[in-house]
Structure 1
Amino acid sequence: MTPSSDSEKTTIYDVADKAGVAISTVSRVLNNSRDVSDATRERVLRAIKELQFRPNRTAKSLAQRATRTIAVAVPTFTTPFHNELLKGVRSRLDIGEVDLLLCDLAWSDPKATLRNFLARGAMDALLLTGLRYDAEMANELRALGAPVVMIGSKWNDMDSYYWDDEVGVELAIRHLIEQGHREIGMITTPHDTHVRNARVQGYRTVLEDEGVSFDESLVAWGETEKHDGFSEESGYEAMQKLLKEHPQITAVFASSDVQAVGAWQAIRQAEKTVPDDFALVGYDDIKISRFIGLSSVAQNMHEVGERAAETLLRRLNREDFPTVSQRVQHELHVRKSSDYIRPSS
């Protein structure tokens, strides 16, 4: 019988529901695991036949040892941050042996987007970034029967590489205070996210540790929504606000380098200079920052991408090693934009 168009849309979730078993059980049946009773196996196979389910590529490639596909799911692949990450992943993969598949999570519901992508079964391993830990999603990922590496947050019992954003921001703010600055503005985004909140908290913690009162009005953001506010336009708009409303500030920390680039343009248009009138520090240490002399907190995205890809390849090769749970160390690279000790008044 030729499968209908509806059968092409049938997912592993549908099979599990019809057979009355967990997704992980269906995965074990597809991978010919012995860890399934004969009765359960028969029930799953009957559901597969009735639904005309086409087993996913993961099961096929494991059985046939075909060219493997690694999927990379990211919030967006158009920002410098994620570009560096992808370059690191790509540099570790061998042409001809591994295909790279991108999943864009930049939609209103990233989890639903990811679930729809996974249901199509088009990959043998998954690298996922930008998604906070969620117990339900973690269970679904474990049930895939394929290696998964998380980037950006720590996931229990799953390979992960992550940052402590508070620590990274503290490096930047302490540097500015050591340079003689006490009136320090911050550029962030208006969105209530873990990354945003952690970086604001890091800014606040250092100020209060140094005896500087935290002034919420010195935390600014732009109106442009592109890339969740991590854009040159947003940084430019936020800096304009700070210049207008808080002329007393002498230093600015931006939550991303692209925001800092926009802020630098606003400073120039105000006929001010960096670092004489304003010290400026960004975050991410993207390539352009090294060429324009922007001080920045490095997250070493290229290296993280390489490490994550290496971990996936080792898992695909069935190597046995403990779960990777690695906090990536930040590094502050001081350049022209803040390398200036402010004269005491």
Structure 2
Amino acid sequence: MNKTIYDVAREAGVSMATVSRVLNGTAVVKDETKAKVQAAIEKLAYRPNAVARGLASKRTKTIGVILPDVSDLFHAEVLRGIEDIATMYQYHIILTNSDAREEREIDLIGTMWEKQVDGLIFISEQITKEIVKTFEQAQLPVVLCATEDPEGRIPSVSIDNESAAFDAAQFFLSKGISSIAFIGGPTSHRVTMERRSGYERALSAAGQPLQDTLILHAPDMKYEGGLDTVDRFLQAGHRAEAVVAASDELALSYLNAIRDRGGNAPDDVLLIGFDNTRLSKMVRPDLTTVAQPTYDLGAVSMRLLTKLLNDEPIDDYTVRLPHSIIERASTDRG
């Protein structure tokens, strides 16, 4: 049979309250008494019941993380940052994939509430009114990671996507390049539209006319959908001197579509990706990219959530982390 806190207390010759204090670290316990309790725990192979502890303390020490796709390199790196800080503060993670579908996201928020998580880190392509309403109904502390609530009601950690894409387009404009394409995900994707907005602002500021044929929208931010989109663009006879891609995978889809036609970067097109994932350094030519501090997005989100949970002072509920452009071979013509 599973051992209980009563068994540990009896074995150690102390009260159940003392065992609880040792387990939770909620009060000072004499070293000698603590050693007795720990010895009893080891002897009995006792494992605390998280649910029971949660009922007593109204905390389960678990955090829910809902993200679109854990297999995606960007999200995997963000998750590492979340998990490291969660471990530091002795929280466990319950991880779920939403496939970026609103109906599933709403379902998963309810599931997390049923599992009595202490708080939630939420990563999504779009924060809709229904999502916000579900957060309010669940009454869980929530931090948005790598995205923002359009109305600023929910704490968030992200970069300034509009400014980052502006800088990417400006990088090409400063070299005297005028034919610059943009490729992103669908128009319903908030991050895509923020990055498109920055691209358009840079061209307008430089007095360059916007060309609809140079703005591409793939079904998502992934390689496969991007490849189909670029293939159709090139088959129609369109060309660009340079490309600002809203993700590294979309940049690689453009690169390979050009290669399939006997071209290459940087000779036939200059490419800037987005996110600085591991892929950007694994391809040849290696990819110039807008780097957002991926690990830090997760780590800072988790730290912000711990502050919410522990009623710590918070200077800013909307955190913007810095971005930079890392120049590599895909934009270097020597």
Same fold (TM over 0.5): yes
Once the two structures are superposed, residues 21-42 of structure 1 have per-residue CA deviations (whole angstroms, 9 ceiling, x without a partner) of xxxxxxxxxxxxxxxxxxxxxx
Q: Give, in angstroms, the shift of residue 232 of structure 1.
A: 1.2
Equivalent residue in structure 2 for 1:262, among 253, 269, 275: 253
Query: Is residue 122 from structure 1 mapped to residue 116 from structure 2 by the alignment?
Result: yes
CA distance in 2 between counterparts of 1:303 and 1:273 reads 33
What is the one-letter code of the residue matched to 2:107?
A: T
Once the two structures are superposed, residues 159-186 of structure 1 have per-residue CA deviations (whole angstroms, 9 ceiling, x without a partner) of 3213332211111111112223211122
Equivalent residue in structure 2 for 1:197, among 190, 193, 206: 193
CA contact (8 A) 1:88 1:303 kept: yes
Q: Give, in angstroms, the shift of residue 139 of structure 1.
A: 6.0
**Higher deviation after alignment, 325-334 or 124-133:** 124-133
TM-score normalised to structure 1 length: 0.72
Partner residue, 2:291: 298
What is the one-letter code of the residue matched to 1:241?
A: R
Partner residue, 1:314: 307
CA contact (8 A) 2:217 2:229 kept: yes
TM-score normalised to structure 2 length: 0.74
Q: Give, in angstroms, the shift of residue 308 of structure 1.
A: 1.1
Q: Give, in angstroms, the shift of residue 104 of structure 1.
A: 2.2
CA distance in 2 between counterparts of 1:119 and 1:110 reads 14
Once the two structures are superposed, residues 286-324 of structure 1 have per-residue CA deviations (whole angstroms, 9 ceiling, x without a partner) of 122134320111121211101111222333344343452
CA contact (8 A) 1:236 1:259 kept: yes
Partner residue, 1:164: 160
Q: Give, in angstroms, the shift of residue 274 of structure 1.
A: 0.9
Query: Is residue 173 from structure 1 mapped to residue 166 from structure 2 by the alignment?
Result: no
Q: Give, in angstroms, the shift of residue 66 of structure 1.
A: 6.7
CA distance in 1 between counterparts of 2:238 and 2:314 reads 55
What is the one-letter code of the residue matched to 2:177?
A: H
SS in structure 1 at match of 2:181: strand
What runs of 5+ residues in structure 2 fail to find an aligned partner? 1-49
CA distance in 2 between counterparts of 1:137 and 1:193 reads 15
What is the one-letter code of the residue matched to 2:229?
A: A
Query: Is residue 147 from structure 1 mapped to residue 138 from structure 2 by the alignment?
Result: no
CA distance in 2 between counterparts of 1:122 and 1:65 reads 9
Query: Is residue 185 from structure 1 mapped to residue 176 from structure 2 by the alignment?
Result: no
CA contact (8 A) 1:58 1:121 kept: no
What is the one-letter code of the residue matched to 1:283?
A: F
Change (3 A) 1:279 1:212: same
CA distance in 1 between counterparts of 2:308 and 2:51 reads 14
CA distance in 2 between counterparts of 1:76 and 1:330 reads 23
CA distance in 2 between counterparts of 1:240 and 1:132 reads 27
Q: How large is the Cα RMSD of the aligned pairs?
A: 2.8
Equivalent residue in structure 2 for 1:249, among 240, 259, 284: 240
Once the two structures are superposed, residues 211-265 of structure 1 have per-residue CA deviations (whole angstroms, 9 ceiling, x without a partner) of 221111112244xx5xxx2111122223323333345421112111011112211
Change (3 A) 1:204 1:68: same
Change (3 A) 1:268 1:113: same
CA contact (8 A) 1:218 1:246 kept: no
Partner residue, 1:210: 206
Equivalent residue in structure 2 for 1:277, among 259, 262, 268: 268
**Higher deviation after alignment, 236-245 or 273-282:** 236-245
SS in structure 2 at match of 1:109: helix
CA contact (8 A) 1:297 1:333 kept: yes
CA distance in 2 between counterparts of 1:178 and 1:157 reads 37
Partner residue, 1:109: 103
SS in structure 1 at match of 2:65: strand
Change (3 A) 1:260 1:209: same
SS in structure 2 at match of 1:280: strand
- Runs of 4 or more consecutive aligned structure 1 residues displaced over 6 Å after TM superposition: none
Change (3 A) 1:59 1:207: farther
What is the one-letter code of the residue matched to 2:288?
A: S
